[in-house]
């Protein structure tokens, strides 16, 4: 790779101060340091440094998403075949699915990169690797039927409003990928509200999503109802495996778990947030089940047990990859537990008690993003109080 | 006996571990003290170029505390006094010639035990060794007018590639005990000695500590046993300097020799040598092959200062670290699996479980970014302090909040590991120091 290094070294002066393309330095710098690790040395402080950097952190998140991508492509292909009433092999599914989702990925990355680079050049800050993760997440939370222009608009909104207006990665309040999805959710609810299935198929092909099934019926048992669906296999194990229609990356709890465990082991994602969310979800689901029993409510969603909540809709995906985003979540360990528990609990509340949207994880996380600093505030006040008591002794 | 277990922290597996056997090297031809390196001290010279000095004779004093003077570590003549910008005294260099030292009163251990505060304090001041005592908060030279709550001595070094203090204290037990006894007169509280294993000591409270770096930092030991409160002052003395003080009382003279490790991935012959305080770096690394580009550091790799061969060992330093200064730029380095000698991470983001010791170089391994809070700081800071919140309070220059968050209990050396492990490459230690300076300026 010496030839590439030589080329970069040769054109470097053009981008340095008083070079012809000085303004485009952030773009050159980003290309240079993505291709070759930075040659920067320590100046002050510790003379030696850990090998991990933000680039590594971000690229590992992208790597953790690869299983979801591969499964997502296969599932999209499979759902197409089901819709058309054909049988197909795994390879055919993968090929057909990849053909569907690659344009979405390409559009997300192209529009994301455009805005990130534009802001880097105009605002003269280095290109932040965070946009890689945002752009990798956005296609996974999009239905395969999404029009490409909507992907571009959503990515633009997510990157610009969700992140750049705050000053870039590290300063944002809301998770940019979720902002992108929420934007579509509220502006084009017909396509992305989560009550109709998203599968590429013949025109007019449709059906109810797993979450919409119990939401649509009164005074029934949710699990029996799901088992009685004939169009799709909504058994627990199939919901867990993910061979159901849905957004590209969110259906397979199994492969999401693989990515989540990887992120938790590397220490990039906080296991406390994930554990808290599962705890909150379980607790709240137990409460709604109990309520359904004692109040005799006609709301079927109240009877949905926790293990179904866990594998349905976007909960697993959002908790593993969105809630654990370190910047927009709580920053203290205690705060992360509370933040996670609330996300889990709110997801169930929005799903079962709010009749407008069958899906609740996205809104729960966005809401908790807004409250993360407040949670941290109370945790830190606790620390300050302890200290003040000690000082007073 | 109090036992402290430190769970957060990290022992960096850096190559070039020094043999603890003491190697003799030829003495340094010149030694120097750099007055500008002492925090908050306004130095005023007591010698001129060409003056002859003895070991222990005063070189300069602090205008704010005129009885605090610095002793010459060598006998000889003042070769140069180098001034920097605005007449800052860069260094006082002494050409070594002979080993005459100023003799003072000799104390038997009984005399030492029955002595009072004034006697001991005056003896240390008149021997010009008071600067060996530092104070917390702010980690600066202590003020003899203060009455410290306690005096803390760390008898364990956990910093990378440092001198193993156990055998040193063992072999100088009498002097160490004398130093501890003398120091115990200076406080109404305790002399708290923290060590790895239990130790028989009189006139001191001994506590043990286990766990990774920064367990050996006195700031952590204070925080874990009896945290400092506003208005309180704690003194601390390096274990090797306690021996120096002990010898002052037992022999009546200043013995400026301490053990220094010469170590690090760039050291071809990592070893421990006996050297004078302020020895010339060049004299300490005579038997190291430095044909590769290396960075010399006075002090440890986390908190030391970059030096050249012609510079001198820092006053409080007891190691010279040598790291490689060659930084290569691997293609697609961010995707590297990492099972090599160069990728080292506290996090599990590289597969480096198999390797034992790593050849660190001066690579920053990334560019400066906004903070991405993945607990990199919290995992290596064994304090009941939220570094993230404190960092932001300092950036916001919010003095009140800094104090509430425990600024007074912190010192930059305790946060050095945070800078080491930070994925955003933020120099947390420097920011902590800025915060302390702000707080001190505020009064």
Q: In chain B, which residues have their Cβ closer than 8 Å to the Cβ of A171?
A: 370
Q: How confident is the model at residue A230 (pLDDT cuts 50, 70, 90)?
A: confident
pLDDT > 90? residue A373 = yes
pLDDT band at B124; cut points 50, 70, 90: very high
Can you give the pLDDT at residue B3? 93
Q: Closest Cα partner for A51 from B376, B397, B277, B94?
A: B376
Is position B271 within any domain? no
B7 and B156 assigned to the same domain = yes
Chain segment B329-340, per-residue pLDDT in tens: 777 777 776 655
Which residue(s) pair with B321 in the sheet?
A: B263, B297
**Do the bridges between strand B22-23 and strand B234-236 make them parallel or antiparallel, or are there none, so unpaired?**
unpaired
Residues B124 and B220 in one domain: yes
On chain A, the residues whose CB falls within 8 A of the CB of B9 are: none
Please tell me if residue A195 touches chain B, with a CB cutoff of 8 Å: no
- Percentage of chain A lying above the pLDDT 70 cut: 95
Mean pLDDT, all residues of chain B: 91
Higher pLDDT, A206 or A86: A86
B389: Cα within 13 Å, side-chain hemisphere: 28
pLDDT digits (tens, 9 = 90+) for B191-211: 999 999 888 899 999 999 999
* Lowest-pLDDT range of A24-28, B208-212, B236-240, B316-320: A24-28
**CA B55, CA A303: separation in Å to the nearest integer?**
86
pLDDT of residue B339: 57
Cβ–Cβ below 8 Å for B330 and A36: yes
At B354 the pLDDT is: 63
Q: At how many degrees (to 10) do helices B428-442 and B387-395 cross?
A: 60
Pairwise CB contact (< 8 Å): A56 & B334:
yes
Beta-carbon contacts of B196 under 8 Å, excluding residues fewer than 6 positions away, are: B155, B156, B166, B208, B209, B210
- Chain B residues whose CB is inside 8 A of the A37 CB are 329-330, 333-334, 363, 365
Percent of the residues in chain A that have a pLDDT greater than 90, as a whole number: 45
Q: What is the mean pLDDT of residues B345-359?
A: 77
Best CA proximity match to B14, nearest among A49, A157, A25: A49
Domain membership of residue B358 (yes or no) is no
Residues B44 and B152 in one domain: no
Could you tell me if B145 and B239 lie in one domain? yes
Residue B25 confidence (pLDDT)? 80
Q: Which residues of B touch A40 (CB under 8 A)?
A: 327, 363-364, 366-367
Measured CA angle at A326 (ends A323, A330), to 5 deg: 75
Domain-located, residue B279: no
CB B404 within 8 A of CB B396: no
User: Is A70 an interface residue toward B (CB < 8 Å)?
Assistant: no
**pLDDT reading at A191 higher than 70:** no
Residue B301 has pLDDT above 90, yes or no: yes
A294 touches chain B (CB under 8 A): no
A235, exposed or middle or buried, with CB in 10 Å at 0-12, 13-18, 19+?
A: middle
What CATH number has the domain bearing residue B70? Answer: 2.40.50
Query: Once rounded to an integer, what is the mean pLDDT over residues B86-112?
Result: 90
Percent of chain B with pLDDT over 70: 98
Nearest to A321 by CA among A109, A175, A158, A143: A175
Which of B75, B96, B117 delimits the end of a domain?
B96
Residues of A in contact with B404 (CB under 8 A): 384, 387-388
**A282 vs B: CB within 8 A:** no
**Residue in B156, B315, B177, B152 with CA at minimum distance from that of residue B236:** B152
Judged by CB atoms closer than 8 Å, whether chains meet at A49 and B366 is answered as yes
Cβ count near A161 (within 10 Å): 16
Of the residues B96, B120, B154, which one is the last residue of a structural domain? B96
* Segment A51-80 mean pLDDT: 91
Q: Are B276 and B206 in contact (CB under 8 A)?
A: no
Best to test chain A binding among B374, B401, B412 (most A CBs inside 10 Å): B374
Q: Which of A169, A270, A384 sits opposite B405 (nearest CB)?
A: A384
Q: Is A3 on the interface with B (CB under 8 A)?
A: no
Contact flag B325-A41 (C-beta cutoff 8 Å) = yes
* Chain B residues with beta carbon closer than 8 angstroms to that of A5: 329, 331
Residue A45 touches chain B, beta carbons under 8 Å: yes
Query: Does residue B216 sit within a domain?
Result: yes
Helix (H) or strand (E) holding A14: helix A2-15
Lowest model confidence (mean pLDDT) among A16-25, B125-134, B222-231: A16-25
| Integer-rounded Cα radius of gyration of chain A | 23
Instruction: Give B398: exposed, middle or buried? Use CB within 10 Å, 0-12, 13-18, 19+.
Output: middle
Residues of A with Cβ-Cβ distance to B327 under 8 angstroms? 39-41
Q: For residue B137, which residues of chain A lie inside 8 Å, CB to CB? A: none
- How far apart are alpha carbons B343 and B350 in whole angstroms? 7
Give the separation between CA B223 and CA B410, rounded to whole angstroms: 9
Domain assignment of residue B285, yes or no = no
Check if the interface score ipTM surpasses 0.85: yes
User: pLDDT for A265-297, tens place per residue?
Assistant: 988 999 999 999 999 999 999 999 998 888 878
B7 and B153 together in one domain: yes
Per-residue pLDDT tens for A195-211? 666 666 666 666 677 77
**What pLDDT digit, counting tens, does each position of B6-38 carry?**
999 999 999 999 998 888 888 889 999 999 999
Residue bearing the bigger pLDDT, B210 or A121: B210
For A62, nearest residue in chain B (alpha carbons): B335
Q: Is the Cβ pair A59, B427 closer than 8 Å? A: no
**Structure confidence at residue B125 (pLDDT):** 95
Please name the member of B372, B389, B417 whose beta carbon is closest to the beta carbon of A380. B389
Residue B72: give the domain boundaries: 28-96
Distance from CA of B212 to the nearest CA of A (A): 16
Q: Measured between beta carbons, which residues in chain A are less than 8 angstroms from residue B424?
A: 53-54, 170
pLDDT at B428 over 90: yes
pLDDT exceeds 90 at position B95: yes
Please tell me the predicted confidence (pLDDT) of residue A257: 95
Residues B7 and B155 reside in one and the same domain? yes
In 3D, which of A211, A157, A225, A220 has the Cα closest to residue A188? A157
pLDDT tens digit sequence for A303-333:
888 999 999 888 999 999 999 999 999 999 9
Among chain A residues, the shortest Cα distance to B344 is held by: A51
| Residue range A91-120: mean pLDDT, rounded | 92
CA distance B10 to B5: 13
Q: Using the beta-carbon criterion (under 8 Å), do B366 and A55 form an inter-chain contact? A: yes
Question: How far away is chain A from the Cα of B413, in angstroms, using its nearest Cα?
Answer: 9
Pair (B43, B170) in one structural domain: no
Mean pLDDT of A126-148: 89
Using the Cβ of A382 and the Cβ atoms of chain B, whether some distance falls under 8 Å is answered with no
Domain check: are B193 and B61 in the same one? no
Which of B14, B328, B386 is closest, CB to CB, to A48?
A: B14
For residue A196, what pLDDT is reported? 65
Q: Six-digit token pair at A253?
A: 């709890």
Let me know: does B139 contact B411? Beta carbons within 8 Å. yes
pLDDT-based confidence at residue B343 (cuts at 50, 70, 90): confident
Compute CA distances B296 → A10, B95, B132, B319, B413, whole Å. Answer: 32, 23, 24, 10, 19
Question: What distance in Å separates the CA atoms of residue A217 and residue A304, rounded to the nearest whole number?
Answer: 12
Interface membership of A57 toward B (CB under 8 Å): yes
Contacts of B342 in chain A (CB under 8 A): 51
Among candidate residues B320, B305, B314, B329, the one with its CA nearest the CA of residue B270 = B320
> Does residue B324 fall inside a structural domain?
no
B353 neighbourhood in chain A, CB within 8 Å = none
* Judgement on whether residues B126 and B241 belong to the same structural domain of the protein: yes
Largest CA distance in chain B: 69
Q: Looking at the 3D structure of chain B, how many domains does it have? A: 3
Greatest alpha-carbon pair distance for chain A in Å reads 77
What is the average pLDDT across B391-414? Answer: 93
Q: How confident is the model at residue B341 (pLDDT cuts 50, 70, 90)?
A: low
| B364·A384 Cβ contact <8 A | no
Is residue B304 domain-resident? no
**CB contact (8 A) between residue B424 and residue A265:** no
CB neighbourhood size of B316 (10 A):
18
**What pLDDT, on a 0 to 100 scale, did the predictor assign at position B359?**
87
Q: Do residue B229 and residue A390 have CB atoms under 8 angstroms apart?
A: yes
Strands B257-263 and B319-324: parallel
Q: How would you list the strands of the sheet with B319-324, edge to edge?
A: B22-23, B271-276, B257-263, B319-324, B294-298, B305-307
| Å between B344 CA and nearest CA of chain A | 5
Q: Is A220 exposed, middle or buried (0-12, 13-18, 19+ CB in 10 A)?
A: middle
Same domain, B64 and B116: no
pLDDT tens-digit map of B227-274: 999 999 999 999 999 999 999 999 999 999 999 999 999 999 999 999
Sheet of B3-5: strand order equals: B3-5, B205-210, B191-195, B151-154, B234-236, B134-136, B140-141
pLDDT at B353: 67
Q: Residue A139 has what pLDDT?
A: 93
* String of DSSP letters for A196-213: B-----STT---B-TTHH
pLDDT band for position B342 (cuts 50, 70, 90): low
Asked whether residue B341 is domain-assigned, the answer is no
**Overall average pLDDT of the A52-80 stretch:** 91
Assess whether pLDDT exceeds 80 at residue A366. yes
- Mark whether B63 and B166 lie in a shared domain: no
Whether residue B207 sits in one domain with residue B61: no
**Which token pair is A376?**
């941290």
Domain boundary among B96, B123, B155: B96
Angle at B11 between CA B8 and CA B13, to 5 degrees: 145
Calculate what percentage of chain B has a pLDDT beyond 90: 74
Q: For the residues A54-58, what does the mean pLDDT come to?
A: 89
């Amino acid at each position: 790779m010496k030839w590439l290094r030589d080329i970069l070294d040769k054109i470097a002066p053009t981008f340095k101060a008083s070079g012809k393309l000085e303004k485009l330095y952030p773009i050159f710098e980003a290309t240079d340091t993505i291709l070759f690790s930075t040659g920067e040395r320590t100046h002050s402080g510790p003379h030696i440094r850990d090998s991990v950097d933000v680039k590594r952190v971000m690229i590992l998140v992208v790597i953790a998403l690869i299983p979801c991508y591969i499964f997502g492509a296969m599932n999209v292909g499979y759902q197409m075949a089901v819709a058309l009433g054909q049988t197909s092999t795994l390879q055919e599914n993968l090929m057909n699915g990849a053909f569907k989702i690659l344009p979405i990925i390409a559009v997300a990355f192209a529009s994301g990169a455009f805005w990130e680079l534009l802001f880097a050049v105009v605002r003269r800050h280095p290109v932040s690797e965070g946009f890689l993760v945002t752009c990798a997440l956005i296609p996974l939370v999009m239905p395969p039927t999404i029009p490409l222009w909507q992907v571009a608009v959503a990515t633009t909104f997510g990157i610009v409003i969700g992140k750049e207006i705050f000053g870039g990665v590290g300063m944002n309040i809301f998770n940019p990928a979720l902002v992108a999805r929420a934007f579509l959710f509220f502006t084009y609810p017909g396509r992305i509200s989560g009550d109709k299935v998203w599968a590429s198929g013949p025109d007019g092909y449709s059906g109810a999503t797993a979450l919409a099934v119990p939401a649509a019926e009164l005074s029934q048992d949710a699990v029996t109802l799901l088992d009685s669906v004939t169009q799709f296999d909504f058994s627990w194990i199939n919901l867990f495996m993910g061979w159901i229609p849905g957004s590209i990356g969110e259906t397979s709890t199994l492969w999401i778990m693989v990515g989540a465990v990887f992120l938790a082991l590397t220490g990039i994602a906080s296991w406390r947030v994930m554990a808290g969310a599962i705890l909150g979800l379980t607790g709240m689901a137990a409460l709604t089940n109990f309520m359904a029993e004692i109040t005799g409510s006609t709301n079927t969603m109240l009877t949905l047990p926790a293990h179904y909540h866990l594998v349905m809709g976007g909960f697993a995906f959002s908790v593993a990859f969105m809630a654990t985003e370190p910047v927009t979540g709580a920053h203290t360990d205690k705060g992360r537990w509370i933040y996670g528990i609330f996300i889990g609990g709110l997801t169930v509340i929005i799903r079962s008690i709010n009749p407008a949207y069958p899906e609740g994880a996205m809104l729960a996380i966005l809401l908790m993003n807004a409250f993360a600093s407040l949670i941290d505030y109370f945790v830190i006040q606790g620390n300050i109080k302890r200290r003040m008591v000690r000082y007073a002794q | 006996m109090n036992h402290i277990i430190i769970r957060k922290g990290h022992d960096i597996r850096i190559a070039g571990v020094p043999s603890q056997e003491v190697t003799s090297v030829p003495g340094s031809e010149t030694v120097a003290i750099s007055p500008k390196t002492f925090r908050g001290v306004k130095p005023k010279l007591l010698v001129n170029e060409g003056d002859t000095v003895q070991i222990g004779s005063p070189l300069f004093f602090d205008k704010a505390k005129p009885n605090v003077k610095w002793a010459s570590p060598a006998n000889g003549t003042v070769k140069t006094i180098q001034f920097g910008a605005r007449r800052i005294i860069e260094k006082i260099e002494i050409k070594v010639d002979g080993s005459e030292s100023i003799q003072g009163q000799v104390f038997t251990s009984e005399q030492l035990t029955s002595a009072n505060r004034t006697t001991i304090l005056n003896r240390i001041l008149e021997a010009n060794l008071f600067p060996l005592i530092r104070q917390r908060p702010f980690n600066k030279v202590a003020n003899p007018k203060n009455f410290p709550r306690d005096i803390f001595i760390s008898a364990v070094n956990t910093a990378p590639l440092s001198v193993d203090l156990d055998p040193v204290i063992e072999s100088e037990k009498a002097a160490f005990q004398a130093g501890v006894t003398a120091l115990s007169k200076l406080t109404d509280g305790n002399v708290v000695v923290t060590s790895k294993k239990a130790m028989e000591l009189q006139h001191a409270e001994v506590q043990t500590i286990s766990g990774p770096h920064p367990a050996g930092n006195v700031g952590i030991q204070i925080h874990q046993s009896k945290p400092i409160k506003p208005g309180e002052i704690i003194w601390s003395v390096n274990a090797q300097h306690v021996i120096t003080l002990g010898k002052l009382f037992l022999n009546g003279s200043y013995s400026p020799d301490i053990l220094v490790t010469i170590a690090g991935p760039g050291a071809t012959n990592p070893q421990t040598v006996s050297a004078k305080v302020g020895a010339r770096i060049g004299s300490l690394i005579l038997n190291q092959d430095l044909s590769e580009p290396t960075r010399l550091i006075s002090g440890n790799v986390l908190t030391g200062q970059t030096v050249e061969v012609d510079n001198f060992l820092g006053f409080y330093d007891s190691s010279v670290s040598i790291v490689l200064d060659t930084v290569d730029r691997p293609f697609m380095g961010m995707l590297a699996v990492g099972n090599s000698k160069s990728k080292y991470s506290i996090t599990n983001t590289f597969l480096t479980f198999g390797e034992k010791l790593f050849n660190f170089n001066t690579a920053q391994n990334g560019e400066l970014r906004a903070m991405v809070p993945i607990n990199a700081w919290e995992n290596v800071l064994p304090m009941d302090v939220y570094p993230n919140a404190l960092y932001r309070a300092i950036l916001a220059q919010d003095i009140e909040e800094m104090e509430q968050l425990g600024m007074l209990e912190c010192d930059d050396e305790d946060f050095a590991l945070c800078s080491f492990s930070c994925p955003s490459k933020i120099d947390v230690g420097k920011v902590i120091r800025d915060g302390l300076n702000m707080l001190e300026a505020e009064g």
